[in-house]
Amino acid sequence: METVRLGKTEIVTNRNGFGALPIQRISDEEAVSLICRAYDQGMTFFDTARFYTDSEHKLGLALKKVRDKVFIASKTAAVTRAAFWQDLETTLGNLQTDYLDIYQFHNPEFCPKPGDESGVYECMLEAKEQGKIRHIGITNHRLGIAEEAIESGLYETLQFPFCYLATPEEIRMVSRCQEADMGFIAMKALSGGLITNSAAAYAFVAQYENVLPIWGVQQAAELEEFLSYIENPPMMTKALQTIIDEDRDSLAGNFCRGCGYCLPCPVGIEINNCARMSLLLRRSPSELQLTEAVQEKMSKIENCIHCGQCVKKCPYHLDTPELLARNLQDYKEVLAGKAL
Ligand code: SF4
Ligand code: SF4
């Protein structure tokens, strides 16, 4: 079994963390059964967020009896003191606990620091003093803010997208975290569904000893795949490296990661899926993407008013309207019979 030490938090956990975003889409009963199975088989790190609707509630139902044997991280998007305390109290209530192991600022547009006008960093310190949180973390999709957080020395963990499609700058950030003795929690280790070989994904991140991937799981079969990595962690082999190299070639350049930070769109375009439809068609069962419901979503791209809001919010600086138009064109051609 491989473990990861999350820097100065001294949290040591199995290298397979549980990402609790997708459990929003399943019932309480299904979620509890999935989480209990994960815990029974050796997962001890669970990551959620106030923003993930009922995810915290479901984790609370499943983990309340084993609270002292697991690590729970949650997040707040609060930018005022009042919102911070409201979020924290709601989160603790939902999770049926009186403390969080890590409380993270959820993808803020600035790096919270003591003395800034939001006052939220001071709230973190106060919550720590009160014993309501044990460690302070930050999540982000922007390199600049992540770097500022590392340099500030104010954070014990950084959560950032990290997978084998990472750029050299992103890979450098992993070592910078290690130098600063900060835990690195990897979100989107499957790049939002674009990486389909989880063994290759695992073997890549496992090369970095301070990286903890949190796998977003919604179905029992997905969970079993990651549970099998507890006993038999995939090692990097020539065959896996070939898969990675091929994926890197085919996904090179600017592609939509599906993070959804550009939402909402004023005309209701589901950008996080529509802007990567060509990839989804070719990397997952295409029939799932050709249903009437998906066709309707794709047709909304025609309504784009080019307001530019999505471009401003995309942390990867994508020309989203252009990407959407290209994906729609390809989608129409596939519907008309173009071979995949
Ligand atoms: S530019 Fe188009 S896709 Fe982007 S937010 Fe505006 S309307 Fe939506
Ligand atoms: S366009 Fe950018 S912000 Fe929007 S989902 Fe894709 S990667 Fe994320």
Could you read off the pLDDT of 180-233 as tens digits, one per residue?
A: 999 999 999 998 788 989 999 999 999 999 999 999 988 999 999 999 999 999
Tell which of 246, 261, 286 closes a domain.
246
CA dihedral of residues 281, 226, 169, 7 (deg, nearest 10)? 160
CB neighbours of residue 337 within 10 Å: 6
Which residue's alpha carbon is at the smallest distance from atom 8 of ligand 1? Answer: 265
Q: Please name the residue that has the structure tokens 């899926």.
A: 273
- pTM equals 0.87
19: CATH = 3.20.20.100
Residue 301 has pLDDT above 80, yes or no: yes
Rounded to a whole number of angstroms, the distance between the first and last alpha carbons of the chain is: 40
Same-domain pairing of 208 and 101: yes
Same-domain pairing of 224 and 317: no
CA of 302 to the centre of ligand 1 (A): 10
Residue 21 has pLDDT above 70, yes or no: yes
Same-domain pairing of 230 and 284: no
Same-domain pairing of 91 and 166: yes
Range of the domain at 13: 3-246
- β pairing state of 211-216 and 12-14: unpaired
Question: DSSP readout, 90-110?
Answer: HHHHHHT-S-EEEEEEES-SS
- Count of domains observed in the chain: 2
Position in ligand 1 atom list of the atom nearest CA 324: 3
Preceding amide of 264 cis, omega within 30:
yes
Position in ligand 2 atom list of the atom nearest CA 260: 5
Nearest one of 142, 63, 71 to 96, comparing CA atoms: 63
Q: pLDDT-derived band of residue 250, with 50, 70 and 90 as boundaries?
A: confident
Around ligand 1, the residues with Cβ closer than 6 Å are: 265-267, 269, 271, 304-310, 320-321, 324
Same-domain pairing of 235 and 277: no
Nearest one of 35, 17, 16, 15 to 218, comparing CA atoms: 35
Are 195 and 169 within 8 A, CB to CB? no
Ligand nearest to the backbone CA of 267: 1
- pLDDT attached to residue 62: 98
